[in-house]
Amino acid sequence: MRTEVTTVKNNLWRALVEVGFIIFLFYSNLLMGEMERTANGRDKSLLWDLRDIFTSKNFVVAVVAGLIGYLVVERLRDGRHYNRNRRPSPEKSRYR
């Protein structure tokens, strides 16, 4: 029972970190585009650029993109041929 709770907590933390990283990449990409659009920040300040990208619409898009990205990575991670705790048997190895 104790290991199940620990596994759930670890999975939750991993999900939060992965979704948070995708959100970070999304916002950093928006900020780079905003800085490029405003001629490398000469026309307007960094604070103006930050106010322009941190909107509720962008936040919703970032969270949805983060969740979709997490689900895709989890699907690839938990594929049919993937098992974290099992090593391939030597007779089935294709690198003989």
Q: Considering the domain boundaries, does residue 89 fall inside one? A: no
Q: Considering the domain boundaries, does residue 25 fall inside one? A: yes
Q: Considering the domain boundaries, does residue 84 fall inside one? A: no
Q: Considering the domain boundaries, does residue 43 fall inside one? A: yes
> Rounded to whole angstroms, how far apart are CA atoms 86 and 74?
18
Q: Considering the domain boundaries, does residue 92 fall inside one? A: no
Q: What is the pLDDT of residues 57-93, one digit of tens each?
A: 999 999 999 999 999 988 888 775 555 565 555 565 5
Helix 2-37 to helix 46-53 angle, to the nearest 10 degrees?
Answer: 130
Cα separations in angstroms, 15 against 20, 24, 79: 8, 14, 17
Q: Considering the domain boundaries, does residue 91 fall inside one? A: no
Q: Considering the domain boundaries, does residue 59 fall inside one? A: yes
Q: Considering the domain boundaries, does residue 8 fall inside one? A: yes
Domain that holds residue 57: 2-79
Q: pLDDT-derived band of residue 37, with 50, 70 and 90 as boundaries?
A: confident
Q: Please give the pLDDT value at position 18.
A: 93
More confident position, 32 or 42: 32
More confident position, 1 or 51: 51
More confident position, 38 or 18: 18
Q: How many domains in the chain?
A: 1
